[in-house]
Amino acid sequence: MGRGDLTDAEWARLRPYLPWNVGRGGRWKDHRRVINGILFRLRTGIPWRDLPARFGKWKTVHDRHRRWSADGTWERVLRAVQADADATGGIDWSMVSVDSTVCRAHQHAAGARREAPRNSGKRTRPVQHRPDEGLGRSRGGLTTKIHVVGEGGLRPLVTPGQWGDAPQMVPVLERVKVSRPAGGRPRTRPGHLGGDKAYSSLRNRRYLRRRQIKHHIPERKDQRANRKRRGSAGGRPTGFDTTVYKRRNEVERLINRLKNYRAVATRFDKRAYVFHGSVTVASVRLWIRP
């Protein structure tokens, strides 16, 4: 077993949730070796073509990762291991925190065709990226943002997203659904939620109150000044427990663990769904570790 490969205990937890039938009577082979190759690439960030020979053909490893990212296999595996952990008390529902992190897009992920101007043979137009590829331009260049909800066990519940923090809080929380193996409705509601000032908005606070989730989000200065200026019409102060708010560092430590995988810290994948699969595989690895 090489460095970073799945241990026997991790493989025993992961194996029941993997697809084995290809179709038309065929069966997948060498799942463990292929997944070890995917994990090696995630950890090191090397090009797929440079995978060591012990993982088999690089194209087999790449194609299986791309296929499972496209058809939602990695998402189903993540939800399955989360349900297994919840059944054994492995999820701390008392407090979750939401945060985001920016990942720089490598030039291999940021490339796009340049179009020539219409009815002109002069200079080409600027590169235009598809809006569904999750690439946004910032001062440092093209980047992708990952939104994470983490619980007390320092493991992600859902990932990722794009754009600003506050507008993405509700869509990210809506994806928190951990099924119950014994049946019944999936678990979706934590006891408390923590977030920094970027998540402070009237819409988010109303959503959390409607779902009866106690929130610990500090109020921005401009929002506080506007509330005081309006007097009684501005509503009550948004106080929160500073002791509980200190637990927000858990999601920051979780992001650090995710970014230990170099193919997560830097986006090398050109297609957004493949990068989403890479983040999901890293999340699965965090869940199945003892």
What ranges do the domains of the chain cover? 8-115+125-288
Q: Taking Cα atoms as reference points, which of 86, 64, 66 lies closest to residue 19?
A: 64
What pLDDT, on a 0 to 100 scale, did the predictor assign at position 268?
94
What pLDDT, on a 0 to 100 scale, did the predictor assign at position 235?
61
What pLDDT, on a 0 to 100 scale, did the predictor assign at position 52?
96
Q: What share of the chain is helix, strand, coil (3-state, %, to 5)?
A: 50, 15, 35
Regions in the chain scoring below 70 on pLDDT: 22-27, 111-131, 154, 157-163, 232-239
Residue ranges in the chain assigned as alpha helix (H): 8-14, 31-44, 58-70, 73-87, 107-110, 165-174, 202-210, 221-230, 242-245, 249-258, 262-265, 272-288
What pLDDT, on a 0 to 100 scale, did the predictor assign at position 159?
45
* Three-state secondary-structure class, residue 265: helix
- Specify whether the CB–CB gap between 156 and 82 falls below 8 A: no
Q: Taking Cα atoms as reference points, which of 181, 155, 141 lies closest to residue 267?
A: 141
What pLDDT, on a 0 to 100 scale, did the predictor assign at position 254?
92
What pLDDT, on a 0 to 100 scale, did the predictor assign at position 11?
96
